[in-house]
Amino acid sequence: MTQNRIDALRAELKALEEQEEKDKKTRRAAVKRVWRFVLVPSKSGSLHQIRDSAVVRYRLEGTVVNAEELKAVGNSEDFYRTGGMNYLFNTATGRIIMSEGGGNIYIPDGRWGDSAIDAEQTFAKLDAFLATNPDGGDVTEIIVSQPNFKWR
């Protein structure tokens, strides 16, 4: 095989690889991630006992409802993994008072260099939700409508 033929085959291979990568990106972009979020009372969390009956631990849990579709078009598992964060809600004041422990789905409050511009608005919506729904429930609209939702 001549050097010219080898160079031509390498160029053809490079073009095919570039086209394959472009096609993968197009397929991945065609399937948007669809979240579902629930905020529900949780018994698990910190090793520390809550000693005030007015404080209730809730878990914000996020799942990707179309994980199989995302996997089929080549997204990594990290792109569609589930997760959550625990929050403490004070029923006497009607406010979420803090996050508890670690988590990979959270509303940033500025502690880790994240923007906390409208976290208070998001927490106010969640506070109102819990005030009328103490058993928790679906908060997808609240979470996905806010620009500062974080997932890692």
Determine the pLDDT at residue 100: 85
Determine the pLDDT at residue 111: 66
- The reply to whether 26 and 39 lie within a common domain is no
- The reply to whether 108 and 38 lie within a common domain is yes
- The reply to whether 14 and 42 lie within a common domain is no
Q: SS3 letters for 54-83?
A: CEEEEEEEEEECCHHHHHHCCCCHHHHCCE
The span from the CA of 107 to the CA of 84, in Å, is: 10
- The reply to whether 20 and 47 lie within a common domain is no
Q: Is 57 in contact with 50 (CB distance < 8 Å)?
A: yes
- The reply to whether 75 and 93 lie within a common domain is yes
Determine the pLDDT at residue 38: 97
Domain of residue 137 covers 32-151
Total of domains in the chain: 2
- The reply to whether 61 and 75 lie within a common domain is yes
Determine the pLDDT at residue 117: 65
Mean pLDDT by 10 residues, the chain (152 residues): 87 90 86 94 78 93 94 88 92 93 76 68 94 97 80 62
Determine the pLDDT at residue 44: 75
- The reply to whether 137 and 98 lie within a common domain is yes
- The reply to whether 47 and 18 lie within a common domain is no
- The reply to whether 104 and 130 lie within a common domain is yes
- The reply to whether 48 and 10 lie within a common domain is no
- The reply to whether 3 and 66 lie within a common domain is no
DSSP type of residue 50: P
Determine the pLDDT at residue 124: 92
Please give the model's pTM, rounded to 2 decimal places: 0.79
The span from the CA of 79 to the CA of 118, in Å, is: 25
